Structure 1
Amino acid sequence: MTKIESGLIRRWVDGWTVARSLPEAEPVEPAGDGLRSACDQPGREVEVFALRADEEPESVARLAAAVAAAREITWLTVPTLRPAAVEAVMGAAGLWLLHRSEWFMTTDLTEHPRHAPLAPYEREVRTEGSVTAVSLRGPSGEVAARGSIAVVGGDAIADRIETDPGHRRRGLGRAMMSALAESAVSHGARTGLLIASEEGRRLYSSLGWHHAADVLIARGPEVPSGQRRSSP
């Protein structure tokens, strides 16, 4: 594969916004180089996702320039098979690289390994609409691990997979991903999608998830108080 398909990125963004109860992402006009999501988080008010970084490298330069000039604190997330070239474009636009080593990953959920949490941990599963949240609780009822997955059509987007530092190396990550995959399949999903951190990708790779692209994440410069600039 020489590029990551824009349709696959769109599918991930659609599920990611559902998983986080965010408004539907909007196209970045006029060229349609990416999608824009209002995150409304301190230090991350807006996030722009590049759709055509490998198909049309110039699209990254256009998005990076717009992010650098944005009035809100804006992140630019770029899935790509050409990370060195993308990093250079981001730097030339004056963006600050936040994460370079994340991975866009996919899997066939129907073949996902099954792992139950070992005692004394217990699994708690709650589904609201198209989003399932899983918690693994310790002997005192504390949340030892948590995560969520959103089902959109045949896709399931895993998000915010976390294990408390005091409960790591006990198989909870594997049990968490098993529970999320099981729930997603029961709700009609077949394909799993996620963006993994450097630490998380080792776990996901061991469970059969496949690397589809690198993911670079950069942020625009600080916006001085009271200054207004145009949005991307």
Structure 2
Amino acid sequence: MTTHSSYQHADPSLVETWLKGWSLAKGVSLPVPDHDGFRVDVGWADQQIRYVFPTISAGLLHLAQTITQPYILLKVCAPATAIQPHLPPRWVIQPPGFMMTNHLPDSPPRLHLPDGYRLDIQIDTPVLIATIYSAEETVAAIGRMVIVDDHIIYDRIATDPVHQRRGLGSAVMAALTAQGISMGKNKGILVATPAGKALYETLGWQLYSPYTTAVIPA
């Protein structure tokens, strides 16, 4: 079985590092090697298992051919156009993701909060949560980070639609980054949505790899 070679293959160790951080942030089982990639037994109602692959491989293609039940996700660091031709028709490609990396500055970034907002940092080992509250004490923006080896893994950075376009997403990232730098870490990894990718690029993040998800609908 040959693999697709028209894209740059991701480093398996980097993918595993990110996936460990994702698992810790979500409170699920840590990844284990499986079928040329990694498996996480998630156990959620809408996601029982996720397989994550650094590249299109024989193991990934075998799973695509043999899995028939829903709620098992195949994820690969490759563009959708590369993996789609190898999938049986029962698989549906989800909206695109983007694995991104950043070499963080030596000194913490400045935190800019608009008037009427406040920041709270909660350390719930191993997850650190930065929350920005509005003047009404509702959650306006939130994000999480986990340290894995020498990397900071960012997860679930989100701004409430009512409070968007006020720099709150950037403020959450700055707060998390400052915490990571204070721990002596300067390498960041995250997986972004298309909208998130645009924000992170303004903060100096670089695209490392397309990140494609396929699932069998229920």
Q: Structure 1 length normalisation: TM-score? A: 0.84
Give the equivalent residue in structure 1 for 2:73.
Answer: 75
Summarize the Cα distance change of 1:156–1:104 in structure 2 as closer, same or farther, 3 Å threshold.
same
Instruction: Choose which of 192, 201, 211 in structure 2 pairs with 1:205.
Output: 201
Q: Is residue 8 of structure 2 the alignment partner of residue 12 of structure 1?
A: no
* Alpha-carbon distance in 1 for matches of 2:8, 2:38: 22
Cross-structure match for 1:215 = 211
Output the CA distance in 2 between the equivalents of 1:114 and 1:209: 17
Deviation at 1:52, TM superposition (A): 3.2
- 1:82-134 per-residue CA deviation (whole Å, 9 max, x = no partner) reads 431212223x36311122x2100000123674332121111000112231101
Percent identity over paired residues: 27
Alpha-carbon distance in structure 1 between the residues aligned to 2:46 and 2:174: 33
AA of the residue aligned to 1:122: R
Match of residue 4 from structure 2: none
Aligned residues: 211
1:50 is aligned to 53
Aligned partners of 2:131, 2:73: CA distance in 1, in Å?
29
Alignment partner, residue 229 of structure 1: none
8 Å contact kept, 1:60–1:86? no
- Over 3 Å counting, the alpha-carbon distance change for 1:155 and 1:93 in structure 2 is farther
* 1:145-164 mapped onto 2 (5 Å cutoff): 145-164=141-160
Amino acid aligned to 1:137: Y
Q: What secondary structure does 1:48 align onto? A: strand
Contact 2:100 2:209 in 1 (8 A): yes
The one-letter code of the counterpart of 1:83 is A
Match status 1:167 vs 2:163: yes
Q: Is the 8 A contact 2:42 2:50 kept in 1?
A: yes
64 and 207 in structure 1: CA distance in 2 versus 1, 3 angstrom threshold: same
SS at match of 1:110: coil
The equivalences for 1:102-121 within 5 A come to 102-110=97-105, 113-121=109-117
The separation in 2 between residues aligned to 1:105 and 1:205, in whole angstroms, is: 9
Which amino acid in the other structure matches residue 73 of structure 2? W
The separation in 2 between residues aligned to 1:133 and 1:127, in whole angstroms, is 6
Stretches of structure 1 that go unaligned for 5 or more consecutive residues are 223-232
Runs of 4+ in 1 over 4 A off after TM superposition: none
Letter in 1 for 2:31: A
Aligned partner letter, 1:217? T
Task: Report if aligned partners of 1:125, 1:133 keep a CA contact under 8 Å in 2.
Answer: yes
In the alignment, residue 58 of structure 1 is paired with which amino acid?
A
What residue is the counterpart of 1:181 in the other structure? 177
The code of the aligned residue for 2:186 comes to R
Worse overlay, 106-115 or 157-166? 106-115
| Cα separation, 2, equivalents of 1:17 and 1:96 | 24
